[in-house]
Structure 1
Amino acid sequence: MFILHYCYEQYNFSLVNGRSKNFFQKVNQIGFYFIHVQILNPINNIEVDNGIQFIINNSNLGMECEHNFIVVHFPVYSTGDLGSHKYFSERIEQLISNPELKIRATFSGHDHIFSSYRKNNVYSFINGAGGGKIDQMTNTEKYGNRTWSGKEIHGKQKIVSDNCYGYDLHIDSWMKFTRTEVNIYNDKIVYDVRDLDSDTILKSYEQPI
């Protein structure tokens, strides 16, 4: 088992351990693609394209691993306050649709909620509690019928604009501080979402491999 608790602070990714903004790290037989896609308002195509191209150029490293994960600040999909962006989502989808890359899940932050999505047996998670407050989407003028002010939502959501891309892939969203714990077995991966306030498991997601 390994535990991934994605948090974000205001720092320059290029200064982290002397690494570049995009880098690959292998831990045992698990590969991590860290790509720098931070703020997409407005959309920064160059930042997105550089991150995607980095994964493509270094796909040979991931192919040597049993499992690969993408870690990025900006979410692939999001029901949260800041939303997603169709261009970035579609570029990531091009990668995860290739089984040879063995990408099992993406992990992100940016929006201060927990959310889960699934496409082609690949999960996307937001663990955005590191930024501080939990967002509550109550601005109807800004978000229209994207707004939800409750503590959680489940299941597919209605798509109303490009920044709602992936809503049909939505599984769960909670306004809670969470940690995603990843348990890798011979035939499956189990993602346990732990509520850090109560130290209980909110939900487990099972992924056959």
Structure 2
Amino acid sequence: MTAETELTDLAAGIAREAGELALWRREEGVHLAATKSSLADIVTEADREVEALVRARLREARPGDGFLGEESDADAGVTGITWVVDPIDGTVNYAYGIPAYAVSIAAVRGEAVPGRWEALAAAVFAPAHDELFTAARGEGAWRGSVRLAVTSATPAGALWDFAAGALLVAEAGGVVTRVDTASARPMLIAAGPDVHARLTVLLDEEA
């Protein structure tokens, strides 16, 4: 077993546990929101609870690693490995009961800044569908036990959380790049090599 695979296994187990907590909090939160608080407050609390669980599990397993989440302070760590976590990716869907949300966990090496790190391991768990997506650098991308591969067809676009999703795309044979735009946020291109090349050309022509 490679170091990347070990990191992926750890991320997968924690993502599944965290996802189950998110699912339970969503179901319980709908009831609580009707009597004690607003649904927005429940969702915010769930975000924090899920991230706290992930952070605690990672600290237990790998106490020297760094941590970068959405709901708590960053920690640089001392090992050179940082865990990038989105506790509930798709909070709007989560709030409205749409089952398109997930726990996203990635282990990266290097500076914990998008575009400056090297993704080593990734796990994305969608609890409402009980689907687990994983990737380890050099070991491919998987949905459960099924290996994934990108397609050359382009009937519709696709969207991934950057840290974990980018490694899933790359290990499935795709290409992921960030493109600076005139807007405040950069654009993310994630596609098969041919489609990625065509999109890049089109964007260059528009620039």
TM-score normalised by L of structure 1: 0.28
TM-score normalised by L of structure 2: 0.28
Q: Which has the larger radius of gyration?
A: 2
Greater relative contact order: 1 or 2 (C-alpha under 8 angstroms, separation 6 or more)? 1
